Structure 1
Amino acid sequence: MSEQNVKKVVLAYSGGLDTSAIIPWLKENYDCDVVAFAADVGQGEEELEGLHEKAIASGASECYIVDLKEEFVKDYIFPTIQTGAVYEGEYLLGTSMARPVIAKAQVEVARKVGADALCHGCTGKGNDQVRFEGAFAALAPDLKVIAPWREWDMVSREDLLDYLATRNIKTTASATKIYSRDANAWHISHEGGELEDPWCEPSKQVWTMTVDPEDAPDAPETVQLSFQEGMITHVNGELLSPLQALEKLNGIAAAHGVGRIDIVENRLVGMKSRGCYETPGGTLIYKGYKAIETLVLDKHSLKHRESLGLEFSHVLYDGRWFTPLCQALLAGAQAFAQQITGDVVIKLYKGNATVIQKASVNSLYSEDFATFGADDVYDQKHAEGFIRLYSLASRIKAMQAKQ
């Protein structure tokens, strides 16, 4: 599709400097109608306030703000939790999980308004360009994709500000933007500023969601989570939707400084990047979920679920949600999740979250078998034959070596 054939484009719009400049740039370079699309994935009302007016003032003909919070938590976050996916051992995939639900809704808006192109404001250095365009390829391969950062000659915030100023388009952005942040109901990420030096400790102004663990309460707090077939249902005995539970746990855990990580990760495009992430409520949900897994999954099932989670962490991080492999991995995790029913109590104290109680109707743990005291159910003499057969290959190998 040539530039002249683009009549209407739907832009993933945030109201920030980049996407504010993209609207007039699209109109000038593609001579097309621009429809702004913003996704509410729980980033907060302050980021959505005035977004419609700002988009229209920048030149958009329409602005759709779509509430995706419930869908995001139920259909993307919890299926990911069920896989046990953690990218490179620490990252709970907050940004990665949000991209497919946003891209899917963007395509739906494009179909609704009869657009023939999609546009995003991702840079050519990051993961998000792949995540968005991978989703577009799976859901709307007939629509042209426009990525201005790979086309225009602007390279800095100053360039973007000058571009808007010459067109009399107002913006609240300034020439200095210390940090790049991405927030949703699950987490907030921070990059840039002093974080670009891995030797530099994050300053207090980096963190915006959680209390500094040093300033957290001196007294611990406990919180009880209840799960039913892989989904959270109650917090401290209160029946809640998955979104409500996450929001409640965010508040509880953030007050104790829980959920901070500082990592250097491998981006999909090949470079390393340093990021600080805050996932307070999600950290509790992950810990609670895994605690019940230890009760109900046998050794071989847990091993398989762990390998599944490792694979899924890369599938999700690399933007392959709308693929057969992703759906197969999710289906496998869901089979295990049917057993994840139970209650967990977690103690929070100065940045730490420790599971101190766990119970499940599906528990395979038996005190009768595990006790160090006297029991009538396990004959320890039986272990001798088991060990002899278990180590048979080693025994044969040693015998051959003596010949």
Structure 2
Amino acid sequence: MDHLQRTTEILRELIAYPTISADSNFDLILHMAGLLEEAGARCDVMSSPCGTKANLFATLGPDRNGGILLSGHSDVVPVADQAWTRDPFQLDPSGGLLYGRGTCDMKGFIAATLAMAPYFAERVGERPVHFAFTYDEEVGCMGARHLAETLSERGLTPGVAIIGEPTDMRIIDGHKGCNEYTTHFNGLAGHGSMPDHGVNAVEYAVRYVNHLLGLKDALRARAPTNSQFDPPWTTVNVGSLVGGVAHNVIASCAQVEWEMRPVQPGDAEFVKDSLRQYCETELLPKMRAIHPEAYITTEVIGEVVGLIPTDENEARRIIFELTGANSSDVVAFGTEAGLFQALGTDVVVCGPGSIEQAHKADEFIAIDQLSQCLSMLEKLGDRLGH
């Protein structure tokens, strides 16, 4: 059986597991572990702290540093309220495309690596090949964070990581971080005709938002020289502000959903420190002067580490050699790549499919994209023993 046919069969199996982030991925992880064990890999199923999800880390070859890591996330985004014209959890081939939730983001790449595992096993030498399949990437890279911490504790550092997010097989060596937060304001309700007797949470939320947006110029001024990103500075965005119950009631509660996309780690601390100081010195004293139990809390939804482009990157060099490409790029969307880079691993993002199809109804991956991915992986297998 050729690699493309086997990849398609495995992809059909993977799509049938509805691993939406809100649900368990355990059955899929165990299924993939079975396929890798059949190929001779040593598999480690790492349960999440809550016990309902898991990462899979598997190895072909010796247990040593410097290996090649192939990584993808097992979770997919929901299909509810999307206008699908086919069963999202049944692979549907049509016109050179393979439809189904997760086909491009990112079970197509995972299926290709699983199909290639026996090929790698026959050729692996002193440099190990690792497979890392994680949980909850779509809701904050929780699984990859857990995996990176585990690898660090074990003293295991892959030399190279290929993150197979859909890039149309373009080589990506940088992306911004993505930090998402919800800030909660708790004040004191009262009659709208007596505003000085209450603490209007919506008003304080508005002041908080104004301060956050006021940091835009400072962030623009902090843009690194020769930044490749567009725009080249860290951005902030307010997604929603919700609070209050009626026109004539002082709002006792409000919340602001916001994000920032750091181009460098120091920018995230700059924003958070500025907001913390503003709350402690300006907002909270005024709120508590009327209602001592008033508070402001910020909930971290997710903090995805950025991937920083570097002059020396073995992963980029290897993919250049395998694909014949001679240039790399940066992207706006976030991945798990920065978490592996923080271990000391050289990382690129390169995988089949287009990000334009991700998260949409009737998601698909082109068969031609899978073929290009398999060509790259076959050449990677051919050089393993060299």
TM-score bucket (shorter structure):
under 0.3
TM-score normalised to structure 2 length: 0.24
Higher Rg of the two aligned structures: 1
TM-score normalised to structure 1 length: 0.23
Query: Counting helix residues as a fraction of each chain, which structure ranks higher?
Result: 1
Task: Flag the structure with more relative contact order, 1 or 2, with Cα contacts below 8 A and sequence separation at least 6.
Answer: 2
